[in-house]
Amino acid sequence: MDFPIEQHPLPFFLPSNASLLMLGSFPPPRKRWCMDFFYPNIQNDMWRILGLLFFNDKEFFLIPGKKIFDETKIRAFCKSVGIAIGDTAYEIKRLKNNASDKFLEIVTPLDIEATLDQLPYCKAIAVTGQKAVDTLLGVLSLTTQPKVGHSITFQYKDRLLKLYRMPSSSRAYPLAITEKAKLYGTMFAEVFEDFTYPI
């Protein structure tokens, strides 16, 4: 069967002040979106994790009374904190019509050079999920893979960057949201000097 090639449907979110670049794999099928931004599936817990960490409220980024994330609030938050967001794949084939990374075939990975060139203050990259880390390691020609919740340091041009391997925010990843938040919190405390998390 010849599967169609999908191009990434979103422009990367790259505020020039970003210290951290977060990279997933690829957005789910559009029917699963509740907003036009990254991690758009209401069943994905990324914005609940960040709500817990920065506001001690996992529903902080939800529109009250609706199963919709508040895209405007999320964009403003990421810009103010200094978080850039993209994905490790630019073009993919979806071998099954679902959101599982297991059935994604990467056709064209992201252009990491073009991405990082727009982020002069970036000092760390966080990859969320196994497909994302495998793709990025290939793009960067790195052979060492950090353990989940940990990082490695690598040289990129004239910069020394940290690469964090973070747990997937998908509910398919078998770890409680509070435990995921602790791992993300440790990373944020290392990247953002003024960050302290409440859990």
pLDDT value for 177: 95
Length of the chain as a residue count: 199
pLDDT for 56 beyond 60 = yes
Sign of the CA dihedral running 159, 162, 163, 168: negative
Read out DSSP for 20-63?
EEEEES-PPPGGGBSSSSSS-BTT--HHHHHHHHHHS-TTTTBP
Decide if 21 contacts 116 (C-beta within 8 A): yes
pTM reported for the whole predicted model: 0.93
Distance CA 6, CA 24 (A): 16
Query: For all residues of the chain together, what is the average pLDDT?
Result: 92
Q: Which residues of 33-43 are buried (b: 16+ CB within 10 A; e: fewer)?
A: bbbebbbbbbe
CATH (one of 3.10.350.10, 3.40.470.10, 1.25.40.10, 3.40.50.150) for 5-191: 3.40.470.10
pLDDT value for 38: 97
What are the tens digits of pLDDT across the range 133-149?
A: 999 999 999 999 999 99
What are the tens digits of pLDDT across the range 109-136?
A: 999 999 999 999 999 999 998 889 999 9
Decide if 69 contacts 60 (C-beta within 8 A): no
Distance CA 68, CA 114 (A): 32
DSSP character for 183? H
Mean pLDDT over 45-63 rounds to 96
- Token readout for 64 is 């009250």
Distance CA 146, CA 148 (A): 6
Which residue ranges make up each domain of the chain?
5-191
Among the ranges 27-31, 46-50, 128-132, which has the highest mean pLDDT value? Answer: 46-50
- Token readout for 115 is 């991405």
